[in-house]
């Protein structure tokens, strides 16, 4: 229900000490409704008739990123993709799989890799991201 997800997103924002603004609520809702990381453009498109400037969208994602509500995925295109920090531990998201044939990206939430161990040369590893490449069920 609209009211429900509204109050849910409001609570998320409140907990993160961010102003509850229209864009933030709208973007969080978009991200809650998808199972793939989305680019700024895709997010804008899914906001439908609600138009926000792309600068605003970028800044919104940035603020959500800073408080950890959202994660940034480095997939294979030029554009970064964003997704709700959800089903991720503090130190790692699920792997992202990109099909070399059709180019689509999927979140493989069922699998996870053990955390890399620092090669004790003084590196402190805080997070890891895994990018997988291959053929998706449709193309295999």
Angle between helices 22-32 and 2-15 (to 10 degrees): 110
Total binding residues toward DNA, as defined by CB under 7 A: 26
Give the C-alpha separation, 91 to 130, whole Å.
Answer: 12
Site for DNA contains 15 (CB under 7 A): no
Binds DNA by CB under 7 A, chosen from 33, 45, 54, 104: 54
Nearer to DNA, 59 or 115 (CB): 59
Nearer to a second copy, 21 or 39 (CB): 39
Tell me whether residue 105 is exposed, middle or buried, using C-beta atoms within 10 angstroms of its C-beta: 0 to 12, 13 to 18, 19 or more. Answer: buried
Site for DNA contains 29 (CB under 7 A): no
Site for DNA contains 56 (CB under 7 A): yes
Close Cβ partners of 51 (under 8 Å, ≥ 6 residues apart): none
Please work out, in degrees rounded to the nearest 5, the angle formed at the alpha carbon of residue 102 by the alpha carbons of 95 and 71.
Answer: 30
Query: Strand, helix or coil at 100?
Result: coil
Enumerate residues 74-133 that contact DNA by CB under 7 A: 77-80
Site for DNA contains 55 (CB under 7 A): yes
Q: Which residues bind DNA (CB under 7 A)?
A: 13-14, 18-24, 39-41, 52-56, 58-60, 62-63, 77-80
């Amino acid at each position: 229900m609209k009211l429900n997800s509204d109050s849910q997103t409001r609570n998320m924002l409140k907990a993160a000490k961010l102003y509850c603004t229209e864009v933030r609520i709208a973007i969080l809702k978009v991200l809650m409704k998808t199972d793939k990381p989305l680019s700024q453009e895709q997010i804008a498109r899914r906001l439908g008739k609600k138009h926000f400037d792309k600068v605003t969208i970028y800044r919104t994602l940035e603020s959500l990123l800073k408080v950890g509500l959202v994660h940034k995925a480095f997939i294979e295109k030029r554009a970064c993709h964003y997704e709700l920090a959800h089903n991720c531990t503090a130190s790692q998201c699920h792997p992202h799989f990109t099909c070399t044939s059709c180019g689509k990206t999927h979140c493989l939430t069922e699998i996870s890799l053990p955390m890399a161990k620092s090669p004790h040369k003084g590196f402190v590893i805080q997070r890891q991201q895994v990018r997988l490449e291959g053929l998706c069920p449709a193309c295999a």
